[in-house]
Structure 1
Amino acid sequence: MEVTIISQGLDLMLYGMGTVFAFLTLLVGITHAMSASVNKWAAADVETASDQKSPDVTSVDSSIVTAIQGALDQHRGR
């Protein structure tokens, strides 16, 4: 029997879709494994980072606050 162009097209489509499905499945699996390993190793680093002190809050000069507020008012007024 003669192979038609439609059957060749369907074969090519199924081959392409299967290849994409296999690639995406592999990509999801590798991403999941990498995420699990990073979460495993990074958990210890997060605990040590939380021990650091945050810098003290300093007051801002009132003239700077006024200038920023004026710039915001001018921008919103457009």
Structure 2
Amino acid sequence: MDNLMSEGLSLMVFGMGFVFVFLTLLVFATGIMSKLIAKVAPEAPVPAKSAPVVAVAAPAGDDELVAVMTAAVHQFRKD
């Protein structure tokens, strides 16, 4: 029984080590391929799409609120 347990543990360690080495190599290979593709075919810049303008009717007497909201929207769109 003791021999069977030690064989099981050695098989487990071997299997986990093999998976660890394989995944490590996979991470390095993916990084190298990513850098190679970035050099060979750089990504074209994507033009920014403008958001559609939506008109919202504000209730009468809320001029200050409308001004604050307009400034917030302009600040958000600027970034």
Normalising by structure 2, report the TM-score.
0.51
Q: CA deviation at 1:43?
A: 0.3
Which residue is equivalent to 1:4?
A: none
Aligned to 2:25: 33
* Correspondences of 1:39-78 after superposition (within 5 Å): 39-47=31-39, 48-49=42-43, 52-62=44-54
Aligned to 1:66: none
Greater RCO, CA 8 A, separation 6+: 2
Give the Å deviation of 1:61.
4.3
Q: Percent identity at matched positions?
A: 8
Tell me which protein shows more helix as a share of its residues: 1
TM-score, normalised relative to structure 1: 0.52
Kindly report the root-mean-square deviation, in angstroms, between the aligned alpha carbons of the 2 structures: 2.0
Deviation at 1:55, TM superposition (A): 3.0
Question: Is there any run of 5+ residues in structure 1 with no aligned partner, and where?
Answer: 1-7, 64-78
**Number of residue pairs matched by the alignment:** 53
- How far off is 1:60 after superposition? 2.7
